[in-house]
Amino acid sequence: MFRLLFFMKIRSTTVLAIRHNGKVAIGADGQATMGNYIAKSNVKKIRKLQDGKVVTGFAGSTADAFTLLDRFEEKLNSYGGNMKRAAIELAKDWRMDRYLRRLEAMLIAANKEEVLILSGTGDVLEPDNEVAAIGSGAMYAQSAAIALKKHASHLSAEEIVRESLNIAADICIYTNHNLVVENL
């Protein structure tokens, strides 16, 4: 029940990452909501870390997400840029630290080799199909990306991310068409 309630709170964005044909793309819409209204329409939710070798996207409370991004970057530096190890160590802290446990945010982290989801429950997930999505429009974007990856393999990773996020924006009221997409 806790996990369901946590995911219900994260409803202010859509972030999608994909590894496809040896390339990685991650994108997010730009909408920030406060309750039932749009507070801002062009928020940048994608950040490059480690001199552009790792790209992250966040959903949830912006202040909480920046706290997690800072901690994740510290872990990346501590573990020589090893993204999976940094994510696992952050997840351990997230579960054990009383302050971090209250943060309401999720992260997607990607490098050229892998895509990971870091959840608010302290989980590190390697998604199936190398497609990761978080936020309110996650299921719409993820479904579209999996279908496009399977049936439109001629598209680039960036094209799949853009089209999938646009589909999510057409359906999800917490997702808009102001997209930011980064490639690795």
Q: Which domain holds residue 170?
A: 2-183
Into how many domains does the chain fold?
1
DSSP-assigned states of every residue in 34-94: ETTEEEES----EEEETTTTEEEEEEE-HHHHHHHHHHHHHHHHHTTT-HHHHHHHHHHHH
Active site residues: 13
Query: How does pLDDT run across 18-66, given as a tens digit for each residue?
Result: 999 999 999 999 998 887 888 888 989 999 999 999 999 998 877 788 8
Instruction: Tell whether the model's pLDDT for residue 170 goes beyond 80.
Output: yes
Instruction: Tell whether the model's pLDDT for residue 104 goes beyond 90.
Output: no
Q: Average pLDDT, stretch 89-117?
A: 83
Query: How does pLDDT run across 87-96, given as a tens digit for each residue?
Result: 999 988 877 7
Burial class (CB in 10 A: 0-12, 13-18, 19+), 145: buried
Query: How does pLDDT run across 113-152, given as a tens digit for each residue?
Result: 999 999 867 789 999 899 999 999 999 999 999 999 999 9
- Looking at the DSSP assignment, which residues form a beta bridge with residue 48? 55
CA angle 94, 24, 120 (to 5 degrees): 15
pLDDT class for 178, splitting at 50, 70, 90? Answer: very high
CATH code, 173: 3.60.20.10
3-state secondary structure of 112: coil
Cα separations in angstroms, 99 against 7, 17, 64, 94: 19, 28, 10, 8
Taking the CB of residue 19, how many other CB atoms lie within 10 A of it?
23
